Amino acid sequence: MHNRPFALVTERHGQAILFATNAIAEQEGLNPGMKLADARAIFPKLTVEPTQIQKDKAMLEKIRIWCSRYSPWTSSSEIQDEQEKEKKDPNLILEGPGGGGIWIDATGCSHLFGGEEIMLTDLVNKINQIGFVSKAAIAETRGAAWALARYGQNNQKNWTIAPLGTVRETLAPLPTAALRLSSTTRLNLQKVGLHTIGDLLKLPRATLSARYGTTLLKRLDAAIGKVSESISAVKYKEPLYVRISFSEPIGNSEDFRAALEKMLILLCQKMESQGVGARRLIFTLYRVDGSIEQRLASATHPIRDIVTLKNLFNDRINDIDPGFGVEATTLFAERTEALGDTQAKLSDDRKSNNFELLIDRLTNRFGNEKILSPRITESHIPERAGTLSSITEKHRNADIKHKNIIRPVRLLYPPEEVETIGLVSKLLVEPPSVFRWRKVVHEITLSQGPERISPEWWRLGNTGTRDYFQVEDSRGRRLWIFRETNQGSKTTRWYVHGLFP
C-alpha cells in the first residue's frame, strides 16, 4: 500500500468522501474531504478502504496506554468521525486530522529517561518502529505542546522543545489554528487579517471576547500559561483477575473446587464494582513442576452469580490432572459484558432460565460447535431450506416465517438416483410406475404432484428443474421423489429425496 495511492473513505451527507490519504495519493492531488467520485475521476485506480474510526480510536488508546511508560498521567485527544462532528456543537469541532494525539504530563519524569531530549527521541523512535509517523513537542503548557507538535518548526528528529519561559515567543508565529479553534472562528479571524497567535496577543482582550466569545481567550490563556489546564488522566482499570497461592500443593478436586469458589467470590466482587458480568472465564492451575492446566468456561450471556459460574466448570473439575500438586490457581474473566445490578429475589427461583443454563452447561462440556440448532434459510430448494448451526450463534434470520408446506421427515442428502423400470412418459409429468431404489423394487400406487422447483440460477453448478412427487408404493411406504430435467444436456433422471412417515 505504500507504493500506490490509497485512501480511507467515509460518508458525509450520504456521499462518499475521502477521510485520509497516503503520501502518494496526496501527490496525485487527492486530499481528505474530497468526494470519492471526484478522486476516482482524477485517479481511477485509487484503492480505498472504509474508515473504521472505532478501530482508530482503539489503536490510539493502545498507544496511550503504552505511553504511560513515560508518565502515569496520559490522555488522548479525540478523533472525530463524521457523525460525531455533526452532532457536536459546530464551534467546538476541530477540523482536519489534528484530532488524534496523546498528552503526557512529563513533569518530573524526563530525568528518569536521561532528560527531555533523550526522552522525546526515544518516544518518537519507538512509535516509528511500531509503524507510525509521529511528531512530539514539550512545552510548559498543554496547549502549547499541542500547538508545537502540530504547527511548530520541527527539527530533523520530528520533535520540538520550547525552552522554559519562552512560550509566548514560541507560539507567536504559529497560525491561529494551533489554538484548537473551530473552523468558524478561524475563518472569522482570517477574514479580518488575524493570522497568527502573535496577532491575537497584540489585541486588547475585550475586543476578542466581544467577537469570538470566551473559548478563544480561554484557549489563548491556557496556551501561554495564564490559566492552568490539567490532564485528566484515564483511570487505570483493575483487571478482572484473581490468584491464590497455596502453602502446601493441593491435589484433589475438592480442593480445586474450594479454590475456584474462593476466587469466584473475589472476582464477582470486582465485576460488581465495574458493573460487568463474565462471558468467558479462564481457570488456570499452576503445577509445582511449572506446567499448567487450564479450563475455559463461556456463557451465552453475562453472569455474575457465583453458583452459576461454578456450575459452568462443575463437570470438568474432576478430570484435572494434579501431577505432583498444584501450588497456585488463577481465575481471569477474559470476556465481560455490562451487567446491571440485580437484587436477589426472596424465593430462590432460577427455573426460569433453566434452558439457557442447560445450553451453557452442554456447550461448556462438549464445545460450542457441538450443540447445534436447526435454522430456516429462505430458499426454495429443499436441501438449502434448513441448516444446522451452533446454538450460541445469534441467528440473523430469526424472524423468517416458515412456509406452510409439508416436507418429508427425513431428507436424503444427496438425493439418491433410482432406476426406473418400464416406460416413463416423457411428455406428461408423471412419476414412473415402477422403480428400483436401494436394490428394492417399488411399485407406485398413489402419487401426488408435481411440484416444480426451478434451480437457483445465480449459483454455480446449479441443478436442473425438479418436479417433485409424493408417492406411496404397494407396501405403504411413502417417498418423496423427483425428476430432474437438465436443460443443457436434455436428460431426465429420477431421484428419491426424502421419506415420509
Partner 1 sequence: MNSYVELQTTSNFSFLKGASYPEELVHRAVELEHKAIAITDRNTLAGVVRAHLAARETGIKIIVGARLDFTDSESILCLPTNHAAYSRLTRLITLGRRRAPKGECYLSIDDFLNAQKDQIIVILSQSQCDLDHLSFTLSRFSGVMGDRCYLSLQNFLEYGDTRRIALLDNLASKVNVSTVVTNDVHYHDLTRRKLQDTLTAIKNRCTVDNAGYKLFVNAERHLKSADAMSALFPNHKEAISRTVEIAERCSFSLDQLVYEYPDDEAPPGTTPQKHLTDLAWAGAQDRYPSGIPDKVCLQIKHELQLIDELSYANYFLTVHDIVQYARNRGILCQGRGSAANSAVCYCLGITAVDPTKIDLLFERFISAERGEPPDIDVDFEHERREEVIQYIYKKYGRERAGLAATVIHYRGRSAMREVARAMGLSRDVEDALSKASVIERLSKKNKLPLREVGLSENDPKIILTLQLASEISGFPRHLSQHVGGFVITRGRLDDLVPIANATMEGRTTIEWDKDDLDTLGFLKIDVLGLGMLSCIRKAFELLQKHHQHEVDLATVPAEDPEVYKMLSRADSVGVFQVESRAQMTMLPRLKPRAFYDLVIEVAIVRPGPIQGDMVHPYLRRRNGEEEVTFPSESLREVLGKTYGVPLFQEQAMKIAIVAAGFTPAEADGLRRAMATFRRMGTIQQYRNKMIRGMIARGYEEDFANRCFKQIEGFGDYGFPESHAASFALLVYVSAWLKYHHPAIFACSLLNSQPMGFYAPAQIVGDASKHGVTIYPPDVNYSHWDSTIEITAEGLDALRLGLRQIKGFREDFADQLITARKMGNGRPFFDIDDFARRSNLPKSVLEQLADADAFQSINLSRRQALWSTQRVNSNQAPLFIESGEGIVEQKLHLPSMGLGEEVSHDYRTIHLSLKDHPLSLLRNLMTSMRAIPAKKLSKIENGGVVSVSGLVISRQRPGTASGVIFTTLEDETGSANVIIWPSVFEKYRKETLVSKLLLVRGELQREGLVIHIIARHLIDMTSKLYELATPYKNNTQKPRYPSRDFQ
- Positions touching partner 1 (CB under 8 A) are 1-2, 6, 20-23, 26, 28-29, 38, 40-43, 96-98, 131, 133, 135, 150-151, 154, 158, 173-175, 177, 186, 188, 190-196, 199, 203-204, 206-207, 210-212, 377-380, 400, 403-405, 428-429, 448, 450-454, 456-460, 465, 467
From first CA to last CA, the distance across the chain in angstroms is: 61
Q: How far is the CB of 16 from partner 1 (least distance, A)?
A: 9
Q: How far is the CB of 31 from partner 1 (least distance, A)?
A: 9
Q: How far is the CB of 461 from partner 1 (least distance, A)?
A: 10
Q: How far is the CB of 489 from partner 1 (least distance, A)?
A: 18
Q: How far is the CB of 260 from partner 1 (least distance, A)?
A: 43
Sign of CA dihedral 351, 355, 358, 363: negative
Q: How far is the CB of 131 from partner 1 (least distance, A)?
A: 4
Q: Can you state the percent helix, strand and coil of the chain, rounding each to 5?
A: 35, 30, 40
- DSSP secondary structure letter of residue 458: T
464 close to 484: Cβ distance less than 8 angstroms:
yes
- DSSP secondary structure letter of residue 141: S
477 close to 467: Cβ distance less than 8 angstroms:
no
Q: How far is the CB of 450 from partner 1 (least distance, A)?
A: 6
350 close to 304: Cβ distance less than 8 angstroms:
no
Distances (CA, A) of 222 to 151, 217, 219, 377, 417: 17, 8, 5, 61, 83
**Toward partner 1, which CB reaches closer, 164 or 460?**
460
DSSP letters, 55-96, are HHHHHHHHHHHHHTTT-S-EEEEPP--HHHHHHS-GGGPPPG
242 close to 263: Cβ distance less than 8 angstroms:
yes
Q: How far is the CB of 41 from partner 1 (least distance, A)?
A: 5
**Separation of alpha carbons 207 and 198, rounded Å:** 15
**Toward partner 1, which CB reaches closer, 2 or 438?**
2
Sheet holding 326-338, edge to edge: 241-250, 326-338, 276-287, 292-303
**Toward partner 1, which CB reaches closer, 1 or 344?**
1
> In 3D, which of 16, 11, 184, 34 has the Cα closest to residue 82?
11
**Toward partner 1, which CB reaches closer, 29 or 72?**
29
350 close to 306: Cβ distance less than 8 angstroms:
no
The size of the chain, in residues, is 501
**Toward partner 1, which CB reaches closer, 167 or 174?**
174
> In 3D, which of 75, 97, 85, 134 has the Cα closest to residue 21?
97
- The DSSP bridge partners found for residue 446 are 472
445 close to 432: Cβ distance less than 8 angstroms:
no
304 close to 298: Cβ distance less than 8 angstroms:
no
Q: How far is the CB of 367 from partner 1 (least distance, A)?
A: 30
Q: Residue with C-alpha cell 481567550?
A: 217
For residues 227, 232, 233, 239, the Cα torsion angle rounded to the nearest 10 degrees is 170
Alpha helix stretches (DSSP H) within 430-486: none
**Toward partner 1, which CB reaches closer, 392 or 465?**
465
**Separation of alpha carbons 184 and 189, rounded Å:** 9
**Toward partner 1, which CB reaches closer, 355 or 457?**
457
**Toward partner 1, which CB reaches closer, 164 or 192?**
192
Q: How far is the CB of 269 from partner 1 (least distance, A)?
A: 42
Q: How far is the CB of 302 from partner 1 (least distance, A)?
A: 32
**Toward partner 1, which CB reaches closer, 33 or 115?**
33
- DSSP secondary structure letter of residue 346: S
Q: How far is the CB of 46 from partner 1 (least distance, A)?
A: 10
